[in-house]
Chains A and B, each alone.
Chain A
Amino acid sequence: MPFLRILLVRLLTTAITLAGVAVIVFFVIRVVPGNPIAMMLPPGATEDDIARLSALYGLDKPLLTQFGIWVAGVMQGDFGTSITTRQPVLDLVLGRLPATLELSIMALVMAMILGGAAALTGTRFRGGRTEGAIDVANGMALSVPDFLWGLVLILLFGVLMPVFHISGRVTPSLELPFTTNFYLFESLIRLRFDLWADLVAHMFMPALALAIPLAAIIGQLLKQSLKETMNLDYVTLARTKGYGETRVILREALRNAALPTLTLVGVQFTFLIGGTVIIERLFSYEGLGNMAIDAVINRDLPLIQGIVILFAVIFTGVNLIVDLLYTVLNPRLRHG
């Protein structure tokens, strides 16, 4: 079974990748200037105070010893305690993870809808003005980074035409009945569409800002690939069967053309998740990225380590899902 084999190989490489990430993040954040103790103490603290606090957080020990203690903890599921909030790092990051996952997946869905629509429309009316207009729009979407799109959207839909919320994840005055942090998902399960609408109104702009550049990439690549597929023999044969051009594109070409796009979407989706850090900050969205910036500002070393490790897990997970999807979509790989 190739599924199982891919899974096993991937789990092994993932473990190696994560170990590497752990080493790099641990030592890099300790080598760069600035330390958490200096952030915690008021100006003019004595050498004694610094030494006592350092000892309290174990920062007085040699680097290698510190690393050993941290790794030993991680092996038992203990990622340490946040220096700023004094809560377990694992609880903090897992509490924020659902918000970022929901935002990223929303953005991905938007990007696929927008990019897919652009590619299909461009292919349907290829060689004409419609395709030209789509190419121009794609170029614009690609050449502006996500955080600038965020500012543009805030101006458009937050200030000029205030239809969406520009900050936060949910209106603070609302009573939330949720037991998990997957608010968007749970509001659907509980059939609380009022809450769902409020969540979407908050998420719409940050998700769209993240989605626009990815949509452009999907649109461009999928259109290219569709146009090539439209010249293949089986597509020509389908035309002689009496089908209209739209149906030929959707049923004969789309699935085969989507394969090369899919691999790229996987890679680009990890960039999108990276983009959440700044976008969440811009929209004061309570996710991992926002927390990461706070952690870096406060030099909250254990929290930074936890967040980076979690991001690494997400990235490798996304790549694994893409590989598995590829075998599902391409029947030729299934028996290989």
Chain B
Amino acid sequence: MSFLQVRNLSVRLKKGPPLLRRVSLDVAAGEVRGLVGESGAGKSMIGKAVLGILPPSIEVTEGEILLDGVDLLRLPLAQRRRRIGALCALIPQDPLTALNPSHRIGPQITDRLVDILGWTRADADRRAGELLAEVQIPDPDRVLRSYPHELSGGMRQRILIASAFAAEPKLIVADEPTTALDVTVQKQILKLIAGMQARHGTALLFVTHDLGVVSKVCQRLSVLYAGMVVEDTSVADFFAAPRHAYSAALLAATPKYTDPSAGLIPVPEAVISAVQAEVAAFDRSVAHG
């Protein structure tokens, strides 16, 4: 049984249009699954649903999110938070806004260990130091005493990665963790996440719009369009021969940096209307029960 099983998950804006349409996906222990799609396809929404941080304006209409066999959606709020806090972690998108400006770095890494998992303060502090060293931050002791505004964006993303791994979670959701970063540090951060994932054996749900990233980091892949999974496959199969026409078009649209003279290839109109027809057919079938 996979560690994370999402079954027929549908969410929508309260009294509004659906944002996820019966999404199903599995992440096995230690496995890395990429979630790709255009902006608004719902890839971040899945990660947020798993971590229980959907905005209050969005409601889950059906489905199950089984974390280690327990359906999170059936747990009362406090218990759900605790379970997610103990088993999962988030690497957020924007390191500049994801650290609390009025707390020092140290407590932001350690307070989960102390408050939720019952570590002693000394153990947690030692652990924080080790983690910062592992993400290659020089002079960890000084950084632990710093405030976020004293550190660069790349440093802060390293800290957030260290913090995500602090409690040895079974599953980490990485929500476009390199999008907000300078291109020069994107590659380092990606390498760092991949390395940490391999060393710690953590399952990873990797939300990204960058297929290049997927080919480097992920083993399995879900392609989303309008909140629907149009393809669920292994990364090797996907790059060899994508099954769905939309996936193929998406792959073809990936810019090739090795050949700057090649223009950008948009996803063809015909593919878009075909996949939109699929979504419409799905909505009709749901409406007719």
Q: Is the CB of A329 within 8 A of B102?
A: yes
Chain B CB within 8 A of A68 CB: no
Chain A CB within 8 A of B97 CB: yes
Measured as residues with beta carbon below 8 angstroms from the partner, the interface class of chain A is 20 to 34
Which of A237, A244, A247, A330 lies in contact with B90, CB distance below 8 A?
A: A237
Residues from chain B with a CB closer than 8 A to the CB of A329 are 102
Residues from chain B with a CB closer than 8 A to the CB of A234 are 97-101
Chain B CB within 8 A of A284 CB: no
Residue-wise, chain B 39-62 has the 8 Å CB interface mask toward A (1 for contact) of 000000000000111011000000
Contacting chain A: which of B80-88, B124-132, B195-203, B263-271? B80-88
Q: Is the CB of A331 within 8 A of B101?
A: yes
Q: Is the CB of B100 within 8 A of A242?
A: no
Interface residues of B in 94-111 (CB under 8 A from A): 94, 97-102, 111
Interface residues of A in 209-235 (CB under 8 A from B): 231-234
CA distance A239 to B88 in the complex (A): 11
CA distance A332 to B55 in the complex (A): 29
Chain B CB within 8 A of A179 CB: no
Residue-wise, chain B 138-170 has the 8 Å CB interface mask toward A (1 for contact) of 000000000101000000000010000000000
Residues from chain A with a CB closer than 8 A to the CB of B82 are 242
Chain A CB within 8 A of B78 CB: yes
CA distance A15 to B113 in the complex (A): 52
CA distance A207 to B77 in the complex (A): 41
CA distance A299 to B147 in the complex (A): 57
Known: A127-B56, A331-B147, A331-B149. A240 touches B102 (CB 8 A): no
Q: Which residues of B are at the interface with A, using a C-beta cutoff of 8 A?
A: 51-53, 55-56, 77-78, 81-86, 88-90, 92-94, 97-102, 111-112, 115-116, 147, 149, 160
Q: Which residues of A are at the interface with B, using a C-beta cutoff of 8 A?
A: 127, 231-234, 236-245, 247, 252, 255-256, 329-332
Known: A240-B88, A243-B85. A256 touches B100 (CB 8 A): yes
Q: Is the CB of A240 within 8 A of B149?
A: no
Q: Is the CB of B98 within 8 A of A240?
A: no
Q: Is the CB of A243 within 8 A of B81?
A: yes
CA distance A243 to B53 in the complex (A): 12
Contacts across chains A and B counted by CB atoms under 8 Å = 67
Return the chain B residue nearest A332 by Cβ. B149
Instruction: Give, as a whole number of angstroms, the nearest-CB distance from B194 to chain A.
Output: 21
Known: A127-B56, A329-B102, A330-B102. A244 touches B97 (CB 8 A): no
Q: Is the CB of B101 within 8 A of A256?
A: yes
Q: Is the CB of B92 within 8 A of A237?
A: yes
CA distance A236 to B116 in the complex (A): 16
Q: Is the CB of B101 within 8 A of A236?
A: no
Enumerate 17 A-B pairs (CB-CB under 8 Å) in ascending A order: A233-B94, A233-B98, A236-B53, A236-B92, A239-B52, A240-B52, A240-B85, A240-B88, A241-B89, A242-B83, A242-B85, A242-B112, A243-B85, A243-B116, A247-B115, A255-B102, A330-B102
Q: Is the CB of A244 within 8 A of B81?
A: yes
